[in-house]
Structure 1
Amino acid sequence: MSSTRSLVRRAVLGVTAVTAALVLAACGSDDGSSDTGSGTQPSASANAEDTADARNDQDVDFAQGMIPHHQQALQMAQMAKSRASSPEVKDLASRIEKAQDPEIKTMSGWLEAWGEDVPSGMPGMDHGGHGNNDSSDMPGMMDTEDMDQLMEASGHDFDTMFLTMMIEHHEGAVEMATTEQDKGQYGPAKKLADDIITAQTAEIEEMNKLLAKS
């Protein structure tokens, strides 16, 4: 009887020892895999962050070019408040202003964060010349003479001139945004470029219809 109890005890102890060993091995495996994960995670996170923040010269050129481009569109839109006769033209001008003013602030914020120059001044409104020398070469930009003529117009003449000039202006913005999509690297800038293409292409179509009606 005594020997039987001894055998049972040994068997139980043996099973307990094996179970304990398996549990320890499992814990060791979990710790190891956890350590490996914690060792690689920050690196993957950092790489993802670096990629998201990556930018190139095209991104800087896009922001520095589109800011004065938008500023001129705002000047034209503000003229429409007192000079346009068509309610449709006034409504369009108001929507252009509401859309592009926040975009100017966004792009200015990028340039400040990157330590780059933020364009200033009023393109096309410098009566001593053609305003910003860099902006005068951008697609769709009006020169001082164009802006002066628009400022002097009113009523139906203003509506026609505004629509004609803004179509050209929008086409230039779409061209610049397309270049950013093709050659840019900064995700938010490429997204803004896509938004500009979508919105301004639709507005070009709208303006062509308004011109056809006038």
Structure 2
Amino acid sequence: MPKLPTIVVRLLLSAALAVALGGCSSDSEPDGPKVIQPGAPGEPNASGDPDTAAQSNEWNHTDVAFMQMMIPHHHQALEMSDLAGKHARSKAVRTLAERISGSQAPEIQAMSAWLDERKMEVPRAGEDPMKYDHSQHGHNSMMGMMTPAQMKKLSAARGEQFDRLFLRGMIRHHAGAVDMAEDAAQDGSDMIVGEMTADVAATQSAEIGRMQDILTRL
């Protein structure tokens, strides 16, 4: 069974924690219930008061903008990766595409759950991505997206031509996601979104390096 991305695990832990806290009472804990915040991999958990935890997990428009823009961004990456499985000649490209699909599909689920929990509209596959572009609200645009014409050209390509188009397009796509994550990390306030931005920036920056290496070897 493939390992779930850290952010998905933490989102599930947060949901379980909310259920657990609902059953807590001051009768069983004289000093009041404590919130257990899962630590980063290899780090111990931390505990604190529920009120403090709630304050640290406030969310704002930047958090919503990041989640609503990153879901269509990920959907396009999945579409590109699906094409790679059909048309790529390079085994390295196909393997990379599988890795992208394996990480970004669960992230879409986690981001959708976050929005749904807060009664915010969840972007669906097939919708116009620009419907969720928040640039008109003072945020940066949905950066790195392939245009319909570029997607059509990629879909028609085969073999090495496809490999090069895919890698160049996905490098730009990932670079846009990293820029979006770094912007959201500066102005967002939600703890889970903060972890998501860090995960996107780290994972996709590393994949950019891999894609650049593959491109030089074609």
TM-score range, shorter chain: 0.7 to 0.9
Q: Which structure 1 residue ranges, 5 or more long, are not aligned?
A: 1-36, 124-130
- Contact 1:69/1:135, CA 8 A, preserved across alignment: no
Aligned to 2:18: none
Q: TM-score, normalised by structure 2?
A: 0.73
Aligned to 2:40: none
**CA-to-partner distance for each residue in 1:129-172, whole Å, 9 max, x for gaps?**
xx332457410001110100000001000000000000000000
Aligned to 2:72: 68
Could you tell me how far apart the structure 1 residues matched to 2:113 and 2:210 are? 31
Structure showing greater radius of gyration is 1
Residue identity in the other structure for 2:211:
M
- Contact 2:81/2:101, CA 8 A, preserved across alignment: yes
- Contact 2:188/2:194, CA 8 A, preserved across alignment: yes
Could you tell me how far apart the structure 2 residues matched to 1:62 and 1:162 are? 24
Match among 191, 194, 201 for residue 197 of structure 1:
201
Shift of 1:63: 0.4
- Contact 1:66/1:173, CA 8 A, preserved across alignment: yes
Aligned to 1:88: 92
Could you tell me how far apart the structure 2 residues matched to 1:113 and 1:191 are? 17
Question: Tell me, what secondary structure is at the counterpart of 1:133?
Answer: helix
Match among 169, 172, 175 for residue 176 of structure 2:
172
Q: Which structure 2 residue ranges, 5 or more long, are not aligned?
A: 1-28, 35-47, 134-140
Residue identity in the other structure for 1:196:
V
- The answer as to 2:144 corresponding to 1:140 is yes
Could you tell me how far apart the structure 2 residues matched to 1:211 and 1:94 are? 17
Shift of 1:38: 5.1
- The answer as to 2:54 corresponding to 1:57 is no
Aligned to 1:7: none
Could you tell me how far apart the structure 1 residues matched to 2:132 and 2:176 are? 12
- The answer as to 2:107 corresponding to 1:103 is yes
Number of matched pairs = 170
**CA-to-partner distance for each residue in 1:69-106, whole Å, 9 max, x for gaps?**
00000000000111000000000000000000000000
Could you say if the C-alpha distance between residues 105 and 174 of structure 1 is closer, same or farther in structure 2, counting changes exceeding 3 Å? same
- The answer as to 2:213 corresponding to 1:209 is yes
Aligned to 2:125: 121
Could you tell me how far apart the structure 2 residues matched to 1:135 and 1:175 are? 17
Shift of 1:48: 1.8
Regions of 4+ moved over 6 Å: none
The structure whose RCO (Cα within 8 Å, separation 6+) is larger is 2
Could you tell me how far apart the structure 2 residues matched to 1:82 and 1:113 are? 36
Question: Tell me, what secondary structure is at the counterpart of 2:130?
Answer: coil
Could you tell me how far apart the structure 1 residues matched to 2:123 and 2:206 are? 27
Could you say if the C-alpha distance between residues 153 and 60 of structure 1 is closer, same or farther in structure 2, counting changes exceeding 3 Å? same
**Alignment root-mean-square deviation, CA:** 1.9
Aligned to 1:150: 154
